[in-house]
Structure 1
Amino acid sequence: MASYHIRQFQERDYKEVVDLFSMGMEEHIPATFRHLLKLPRTLLLLTGVPLTIVLVSGSLLLAVVCIIILLLFLWFLAGQPWKHHVSMCLQTDMADITKSYLSVSGAGFWVAESGGQVVGSVAARPVKDPPLGRKQLQLFRLSVSSQHRGQGIAKALVRTVLQFARDQGYSDVVLETSVIQQGAVSLYESMGFQRTGLFLLDGIVGRVVDFFVFRFTYPLPFAQEPKL
């Protein structure tokens, strides 16, 4: 098993981090496609339209071509939430990681390095409008290279954020992940995160794909007790 260590992000890591993040998001397209195929409205579409074509035209070949076209369209549709997410991130916080995280008080961005390569990353920033009486840190951009999974890197990156939150006196670490990302859901639950919300992704594609997102919370004791 290859060794790794976790350190703070440096500017020279930028391309590797972006590539890692982008590829990680695209890996979820097949699972989203399978999820889409299981929806009742999708099954109705894949059976109803070809059957109608056969009844109207009498052409089985035309019906088969129609099914292929529909499947290609569904694959395209399955990729849209992830491609939009990557595009949005690269235009916002990940356009300048140093400015978005390292220059922000109470925020951070870390990478896991193995063999001189970046094989994992995670980020965290303060929640702008936390619930009254809470000081919350939100975990973002957790990614691990597919070739380096199963080594505990994802857990180590999450623990890095949790320890940072304790040191900074946060009361909670919060995050959001989709129902499609079952590996991430299992990871967070195994580490003690609690499901605290569920919502449908905004936009037409989110509604068509039934793209639901979980909110998770990890409560922390305050790092510093108030002095009497």
Structure 2
Amino acid sequence: MSDTVRTAIADLPVEDAVCLEAGAGAGNASVALADAGAERVYAVTDDADHADRTRERVDPGRVSVLTADLAATPLPDDSVDVVTAHALVNVVSPETLGPILAELARVARSGAWLVVDDYDPVPETSAAAPVADLFDVENAASRLATGDPALTFYPESLVRRLCAGYGWRPTRTETLLDPVPWTPDLLSAHVDLVREHAAELPADLGDALVARAEAAEERAGDGVDTGRMYSVAFRREE
């Protein structure tokens, strides 16, 4: 995903900017922002493993990794010039997305930039069915174990409207991937997440969910190329 991150920020004024990677996963955006000349990058995630993975990749003199909830982002008001949310919103439930968007607006300076990169919903086609089925099983396991879905794919048009409601004006949209390559490694990682949630459930139910996830993975074979990853850039109203 590092190439898609660099494409998404290529037209943003990153040099000498204070930046926020909202939802650091592997730290791809933090690395790209630092390489593009950011003065300081704050990588915020509530996942300790993601935080550790990001710290291993970045220069602590340029990037600060903060383990915190984005709905209570530990940065001052009006302190950030550029915000990236790369593959973040698809792992945020609708109930949580609003508070996170409010926080991103709070920490952004007047005239700041936000770029949201994410996935349209998986197409309803026979070719995409193994991927869609796997994600459905993952959501079922997550809801049963935690009460929340693991994945919510927000269409680009909805993301534009949601962010506009928090004072962000869309300036451009582009396609980063079409189709998206759901590789065996990616699909296997989603099956592992099903197993993690299933371990919290009664054995017969958990085993049935894992079996369905593994069956979907097997049907996907060498991977499935389907769907679209988009990038929308916004400017904070001045």
Specify if TM > 0.5: no
Task: Point out the structure with the larger helix share.
Answer: 1
Larger radius of gyration: 1
